[in-house]
Amino acid sequence: MAVVSYREALNQALAEEMERDERVFLLGEEVAFYEGSYKVTKGLLAKFGPERVRDTPIAEEVIAGSAIGSALGGLRPVAEMMTVNFMLLAMDQIVNHAAKIRYMFNGQTSLPLVIRTPQGAGKQLGAQHSQQLESYVCHCPGLIVLAPATPADAKGLLKTAIRDENPIIFLENQNLYGVKGEVPEGEHLVPIGRANITRTGADVTMIAYSNTVYLAEKAAEQLASEDISVELIDLRTLHPLDMDTILQSVAKTHRVVIVSEAWRTGNLAAEIAMQIQEAAFDELDAPILRVTAKDVPMPYSRDLEQAALPQVADIIAAVKQIV
């Protein structure tokens, strides 16, 4: 095991996959000479050259379209959108083309495409640069959506994603790039579609992903001091959901709290809650609760920004409400 940061783990994954397969290449705004806005592509231009690490115009629809075309042509592109907020400009390419091509051509072609993008709030970047939009892409059949929380999962899932034959949206919370953790040395792959139980417990199932895994862990630690036992599930894959792992946990704890930093209305947490309700209603001893961001554009003010986002205290209050 080696202790590395989240961004270093992503960098390792990219470098290893580019060394393994010459068809893998990177494209995006400032991924080459500037080495990425969050320095995830640091050193890769020097190592692999401008043919495989390509700066693009500031035009997200061009980035997505070029990636789709090159994937259809036999390459394995990894496209970076500078933020998920900018990815909105490429939604026609992503939703109407990337997500549908394999279906419309009856599986006669694959589309091995990864779109990496940071998202999230908490850094005072204002309403237009602080969004979490996983619900937008999870709503679209044909897309796989990943959101790793730890450096180990970031590396293992990115390597798996690059080898997959389907279009994948790879969401990286901007608050996690400096987070450090142990990452296995050598070949390290994490399977798509499999959640991870990071903490076992008996009283309540807590479901989180990406940055909220760390909030949930802090809440679980505090609740443990009050003899409330939390089982924490890190989803890792948002679409398709690992409902088997979730339902097995619900059958044990009979209570559920779901934590997300996205807006409350239309939140992925509501979809998870409904699937639990449909499949395991008789197992529930209390209503399923959601802890989410407020339904407001993200404020710039530091205090207001924190007030709009879910906090550890909010998670603890939700658990105590149903236990």
At 291, which helix (H) or strand (E)?
Answer: strand 289-293
- Are 60 and 89 a contacting pair, CB within 8 Å? yes
Question: How many other C-beta atoms are found inside a 10 Å radius of the C-beta of residue 279?
Answer: 14
* Exposure on the CB side of residue 37, measured as CA atoms within 13 A: 13
Neighbouring residues of 145: CB distance < 8 A, sequence distance ≥ 6:
134, 137, 138, 168, 169, 171, 237, 238, 239
Coil, helix or strand for 34? coil
- CA dist 42 → 39, 217, 245 (Å): 5, 31, 36
Residues classed as catalytic: 60, 129
Report which secondary-structure segment, H or E, holds 238.
Answer: strand 237-239
Q: Tokens 């231009």 correspond to what residue?
A: 45
